[in-house]
Amino acid sequence: MFATINEDVFRSYVFWSSILVLKMLVMSVLTGMQRFRKKAFVNPEDIATMPKLKLKTDDPDVERVRRAHLNDLENILPFFVIGFFYMLTNPDAFIASTIFRAVAVARIAHTLVYAVVVIPQPARAIAWMVPYVASIYMATKTILHFW
C-alpha cells in the first residue's frame, strides 16, 4: 500500500506538515513573549525573583494567543492524520498539493488575524473554514476509498 504513494504528493505533505509543525512551535514562543510583555505569569517559580509581581492568569492578550494555539491543536493534529490517510488513496498530485498548501497557508493566516494583528470577522472564520473543509473533504475521500 505504501509503495503506491505518489512521491510528489508525499513530498508536498511532508513539506507543508513540517511548516505547520514549525508554526505550532512558534505559538509557544509567541505565548511566552506575550507573558513577558504583559508580565502575566501563572507559576510561582516564574515570579520568584520578581517580588513585586503577582500571578496573573487572565490577561486577555496572553489568553488570545493561548486560544489560537489550542485552535491549532484542535485542527492541525487531525490534518496530520487525515492528510496521511488521504495520501493512501492515490490522489491527484495537483489536487493533494493544493489542499496541503491551502491548509498550511490558512492556518498561518488564522494565527495572524487571531493572535498577532487582530482583524475583525469574517477573516478568522475564513482562515479557520478553509482547513476545516479541506479536512472533511480528505476524510470523505478516504472513507469512500477504503469502504
H-state helical runs in 88-122: 93-111
pLDDT at 70: 96
pLDDT at 49: 82
Instruction: Indicate the average pLDDT of the chain.
Output: 94
**Grid cell of 6 as nine digits:** 505518489
- pLDDT tens for each residue of 21-61: 999 999 999 999 998 898 888 888 888 888 788 888 889 99
Is the predicted pLDDT of residue 138 greater than 90, yes or no? yes
Mean pLDDT for 84-95 is: 97
**At what angle are helices 93-111 and 60-87 packed, to 10 degrees?**
170
* Percentage, residues of the chain above pLDDT 70: 100
pLDDT at 45: 86
**Grid cell of 107 as nine digits:** 492556518
Is the predicted pLDDT of residue 88 greater than 90, yes or no? yes
What SS3 string covers 34-95? HHHHHCCCCCHHHCCCCCCCCCCCCCHHHHHHHHHHHHHHHHHHHHHHHHHHHHCCCCCHHH
Is the predicted pLDDT of residue 1 greater than 80, yes or no? no
CATH class of 2-146: mainly alpha
pTM exceeding 0.85: yes
Buried b (16+ CB within 10 A) or exposed e, 113-134: bbbeeeeeeebbeebbebbbeb
pLDDT at 61: 92
**Grid cell of 65 as nine digits:** 494567543
Is the predicted pLDDT of residue 111 greater than 90, yes or no? yes
**At what angle are helices 7-38 and 60-87 packed, to 10 degrees?**
170
Cβ count near 105 (within 10 Å): 15
* Percentage, residues of the chain above pLDDT 90: 81
pLDDT at 58: 87
- Listed in sequence order, the residues at least 6 apart from 69 whose beta carbon sits closer than 8 Å to its beta carbon are 24, 27, 28, 30, 31, 115
